Amino acid sequence: MARCLLLGFLGCAAAARAPLCFTAHAKTTLQCSLPVSDGPVAVYDDGESPQRARKLYLKGGKLCSKKQCKDCMSAGGKFVSCGKAVALKIQVMGANGDWATPKAVAFAALLVAVPVVVFLKGGKSSKAAGGAAGSSTASTPVGIAGDAVAFLLRFASAWWFPLVAGFGTAVNMFTIIFTGATVVIFLAAVLGQPKRWVSTALCNAAGATLGTLILLVLVRERGVEYLNETFPAVLASPAWAKATGLMTTYGVGGMLLVSSMPIILHPVIVFGILSGLSNSAILSIVMAGRTVKYLVMSYITCNAPGALRFFGIKASLVDYASKQAARQ
């Protein structure tokens, strides 16, 4: 069963797709996700708004505006008579190529094995470790958000509370500023019923995937420019640059890595779209990565809360969630 699910995920992420190309170096180079031949090709141009792939025609290394190929793109992006245009240098971006099945299976197995090893090795010693988490980004919610969280935490032990935590994670894809509140709700959901730490992690991963789905549909509809207008601070953040660097270097593997890290998912959406991945492939990657992340967080919350500092969670946040869960 597990093998079927694993292969199904890999097949989804590496499904055959049409090549997507980018113009680079002042429109003198054409970089494509897959090898291309003469004919129609989708070309992404970051000089347009909204930023979407447009249909052009490739003939003899030149990009034509129409099938008849009378006007071709010249250096700088201007269309001139094809006789005056110079053929573009075409490069295939290796980072976005599909892995061979053995290599893809090995990588996925390694990704799953890491948290399993952590669970097995850290089981006995982590229960005695305890301790408080170090300082980082997520802080105790205050104001209206704090009041709402305090009310919700009364029900931390209820069977449905992990669903609330997952819904909060989905909503936070659009708010971001309520990260502290959603983290408290997630930690309380785990501490309220430690035996359900696995299902709580899966609910939160599903919530992150749901939020990604909604945002992905909006970006598909309105273009990448929608993110620039709606989340300008996110695009300018160090997390965006870090995530983009990893994905540019490792392709789909980088997307999986970023999805399993305690950073924003917005770069995964953009990179997936620009790489020509289908919605199902992007969502599968997000679900897989966030499942790994929240399984590790859930286990650590139950056994070694001090290690949550590696996820950017302050000690005050863990203490707050622990006290609220203890009142149940």
Label residue 294 by pLDDT band (50, 70, 90): very high
Q: What is the pLDDT of residue 102?
A: 67
Judge whether residue 165 has pLDDT over 60: yes
Query: By three-state DSSP, how is residue 59 classified?
Result: strand
The whole-number pLDDT of residue 7 equals 43
Chain segment 219-260, per-residue pLDDT in tens:
998 888 888 788 888 777 888 888 888 898 888 899 999 999
Paired tokens of 263: 């950073």
pLDDT tens, 266-288? Answer: 999 989 988 888 999 999 999 99
* pLDDT tens, position by position, 119-153: 555 444 434 333 333 333 444 444 444 555 566 66
Nearest to 39 by CA among 57, 65, 25, 52: 57
List the structure tokens of 210: 């749901």
What pLDDT does 18 receive? 56
Q: Do 115 and 296 touch, CB atoms closer than 8 A? A: yes
pTM for the complete prediction? 0.58
pLDDT in tens, 60-104: 888 888 888 888 888 777 888 888 888 888 887 655 455 556 666
Residue partners of 248: CB distance under 8 A and separation at least 6: 95, 254, 271
Lowest mean pLDDT among 41-45, 109-113, 196-200: 109-113
Average pLDDT, the chain: 75
Q: What percent of the chain has pLDDT over 90?
A: 17
Which helix (H) or strand (E) segment holds residue 73: the answer is strand 71-73
pLDDT at 293: 93
Higher pLDDT, 172 or 285: 285
Instruction: Please report the pLDDT score of residue 231 as a whole number.
Output: 82
The pLDDT confidence band at residue 212, using thresholds 50, 70 and 90, is: very high
At 306-319, the pLDDT tens digits run: 777 777 676 666 66
Spans of all domains in the chain = 17-96, 101-326
Q: What is the pLDDT, as a whole number, of residue 198?
A: 93
At 13 the pLDDT is 43
- Contact in structure between 285 and 243 (CB atoms under 8 Å): no
Cα–Cα distance list, 184 to 189, 194, 297, 298, 318 (Å): 8, 15, 12, 12, 7
